[in-house]
Chains A and B, each alone.
Chain A
Amino acid sequence: MLVYERNRRLVIPFVGPALILYLLFFIYPAVRGLWYSTLDWSGFNQTPEFIGFQNFIELFQDQWFWTTLYRTVLIMVLGGVFIFGLSFLFVILLNSGIRGKSFFRTVIFVPNVIAPIALTTLWGFILNYRFGLVNGFLTAIGLEEFAQPWMGPELVFWSMLVMIIWTYVGFYLVILLSAIAKIPTELYEVAHLEGANPLKMFTMITIPLIWDVLTIAIIYWGIFSLKLFEIIFSFTGFIPKSEIWTTPVYVYILGFGKINPIYRLGYATAISLVLLVIVMIFVIVSRFVFKRERIEY
């Protein structure tokens, strides 16, 4: 802790520049942008109509708003569980004394480096009913009757969830790996000598010591998944099918859609505002729930 007197004068030169940029190019446009939520406006003409809270009243009764919100949260929760679960699994596997650890880690991370459009095109081909890999593989091993229309209305959302998990596991794996690598191995050796089993070591040593990083990762995933857009929007080709609409996708279609020229900028912004509030609540609640004493070692 920088405790000496002069630290207060550091605030302005150190934080000031970032604050100015942030206020000017982020907060100011955001506030203006959110002002649109009180308007009935297509964004094209000069005469937006002020309608106060009507957009908000409408969205609470909008069946699509609730459906898409439900899906968005579902992706966050289910996706989060599987992503973090798989990440921890891979951490364990990678730390179990194998060689080529960095190779595996790099490959698992690779999908994060590729543009979402490439990933969705790839998966579109893999899941294709007629010539896709999955059905081709099932047929080849004689399980033809399990070949499904993976992109059909019933399964498309789950297929997409699988793709999302596969893509982002690597990201959180890298974060967790680097956090766990910092734990001195002596701690584990001592615990092992004292007879602790792997589960106990995990909960009593690993988790507490990476708590800072773990909570940041979880919060980041929460925010990221609630805002996730590109990878979902392009999943079923150039128009997202209604079965995979999430809140950000719905907002985009309402305000900016091509081919579906709805152009309701005010209403779209109102929904974004609600989403923003949800994200903020999530962040605040998480930070509160996850608060613990920092452990310095």
Chain B
Amino acid sequence: MRIRHSKATIIIAYLVLFLWCSFTIFALFWITLTSLKDNRTLFQNVWALPQEIHFENYELIWNTFDIKNYFKNSMIVVPISVFMILVFAAPAAYVLSRARFKGRNILLNFFVIGIGVPFVVLLIPLYFLLARLHIIDTLFGLSIVYISLSLPFSIFLLTGFFRSFPSELEEAAAIDGCRPFQIFLKIVLPITSPGLIAVSIFNFIGIWNEYLLALILTSSENNRVLSLGVYAIQNSMQYSGNWVALFAGIVIVFLPTLILYIFMSERIMESLTLGAVKG
């Protein structure tokens, strides 16, 4: 909407946006500042700036609560799962959205049904399944579960993206003698990269913060992921009232996703608007 809007509209826009965003930014700051206080001063004045900086909260979380290991585990499980989801979902979405064959819609809907299944139902059966396959309490097992459970939504979303580009490109390539897989790799994927990136970001955020499955499917110390760490801190905090440590844990958990998002969002918007110009 490149139409010139009146100055009044622009001012109102700035006002509303500033109000909304300053609240959010304030919230982020407050969480971070609180993580640097100690409990006594926190409750003396909840919204004040910290008088002294207490880095030991971070030290406590990082070492005693062993967050550094959990962080490492999350950094293994999450990016790999997100990537593998694309590996499985993208080809499927491509075929399910563009090819015509009997039963295509049934197959697509079969995947889409999965979006509605609440995870609680799966917890115990998955435990048994992984146990029988001897991949219980392994990061590998957890990753496979994350990938499988994300397929419905990813395929659903990707079919939306895959549907909407002109087929002339593929047809031209086919005429040129390219095999389907090459077409997929060299033409389709690049064009739909905004969709792939978008799906990846959603999956990343979802899996990074997921803890219910991780809780049931892993048990040894070495296999805990970061979200479990925060969950454990929150539980401990109930019994010891260590709020500031909880906030430190929260900051450690949201910082990577925040940075990732800030970094990636520019790229997404670029590629999206580029697509628009091409028309």
Footprint of B on A, CB under 8 Å? 1-4, 6-8, 10-11, 13-15, 17-19, 21-22, 24-30, 32-34, 36, 43, 89-90, 92-98, 102-118, 121-122, 125-126, 128, 131-133, 136, 174-175, 177-178, 180-185, 188-189, 192, 201, 212-213, 216, 220, 223, 226-227, 230, 234, 238, 248, 251-252, 255-256, 265, 268-269, 272-273, 275-276, 279-280, 283, 294, 296-297
Q: Are A185 and B2 in contact (CB under 8 A)?
A: yes
Which residue of chain B has the shortest Cβ distance to A125 in the bound complex? Answer: B46
Q: Are B100 and A1 in contact (CB under 8 A)?
A: yes
Assuming the contacts A117-B231, A121-B246, asked whether A29 and B180 have C-beta atoms less than 8 A apart, the reply is no
Q: Are B269 and A102 in contact (CB under 8 A)?
A: yes
Q: Does B227 belong to the interface (CB within 8 Å)?
A: yes
Q: Are A114 and B13 in contact (CB under 8 A)?
A: no
In the complex, given contacts A10-B95, A33-B122, what are 20 additional A-B residue pairs having Cβ atoms less than 8 angstroms apart?
Answer: A2-B167, A2-B171, A8-B101, A19-B107, A21-B88, A25-B144, A33-B123, A93-B16, A94-B17, A96-B13, A97-B4, A98-B13, A103-B21, A106-B262, A109-B265, A113-B254, A118-B31, A118-B253, A251-B120, A252-B120
Footprint of A on B, CB under 8 Å? 1-5, 9-10, 12-14, 16-17, 20-21, 24-25, 27-28, 30-31, 43, 45-47, 88-89, 91-92, 94-96, 98-101, 107, 111-118, 120-126, 128-129, 144-145, 147-149, 151-153, 155-157, 160, 163-164, 166-167, 170-171, 174, 180, 184, 194, 198, 205, 209, 227, 230-231, 234-235, 238, 246-247, 250, 253-254, 257-258, 261-262, 265-266, 268-269, 272-273, 275-276, 279
Q: Are B2 and A188 in contact (CB under 8 A)?
A: yes
Q: Which of A97, A108, A133, A201: most chain B CB closer than 10 A? A: A97
B118 / chain A contacts, CB cutoff of 8 Å:
227, 248, 251, 272, 275-276
What are 25 sample pairs from A and B whose C-beta atoms fall under 8 A apart? A2-B99, A3-B171, A8-B101, A13-B91, A22-B148, A25-B149, A26-B122, A26-B148, A93-B17, A98-B10, A98-B13, A102-B265, A106-B265, A107-B24, A108-B21, A122-B27, A128-B46, A178-B272, A189-B3, A212-B160, A268-B120, A275-B118, A276-B117, A276-B118, A276-B121
Q: Are A189 and B2 in contact (CB under 8 A)?
A: yes
Assuming the contacts A93-B17, A248-B118, asked whether A122 and B262 have C-beta atoms less than 8 A apart, the reply is no
Q: Are B25 and A43 in contact (CB under 8 A)?
A: no
Q: Which one, A29, A177, A223, A238, contacts B126 given CB within 8 A?
A: A29
B124 / chain A contacts, CB cutoff of 8 Å:
33, 36, 43, 265
B184 / chain A contacts, CB cutoff of 8 Å:
14
Q: Are B273 and A2 in contact (CB under 8 A)?
A: no
Q: Which one, B9, B88, B121, B125, contacts A96 given CB within 8 A?
A: B9
Assuming the contacts A26-B149, A108-B21, A283-B112, asked whether A178 and B1 have C-beta atoms less than 8 A apart, the reply is no
B115 / chain A contacts, CB cutoff of 8 Å:
220, 223, 279, 283
Q: Which one, B129, B147, B166, contacts A296 given CB within 8 A?
A: B166
In the complex, the number of residue pairs spanning A and B with C-beta atoms less than 8 Å apart equals 273
B262 / chain A contacts, CB cutoff of 8 Å:
106
A2 to B13, CA, bound (A): 45
Q: Are A22 and B2 in contact (CB under 8 A)?
A: no
A118 to B34, CA, bound (A): 12
Q: Are B129 and A115 in contact (CB under 8 A)?
A: no
Q: Are B148 and A21 in contact (CB under 8 A)?
A: yes
Assuming the contacts A122-B30, A178-B198, A283-B112, asked whether A25 and B126 have C-beta atoms less than 8 A apart, the reply is yes
Q: Are B92 and A19 in contact (CB under 8 A)?
A: yes
A234 to B31, CA, bound (A): 17
A183 to B151, CA, bound (A): 29
Q: Are B17 and A1 in contact (CB under 8 A)?
A: no
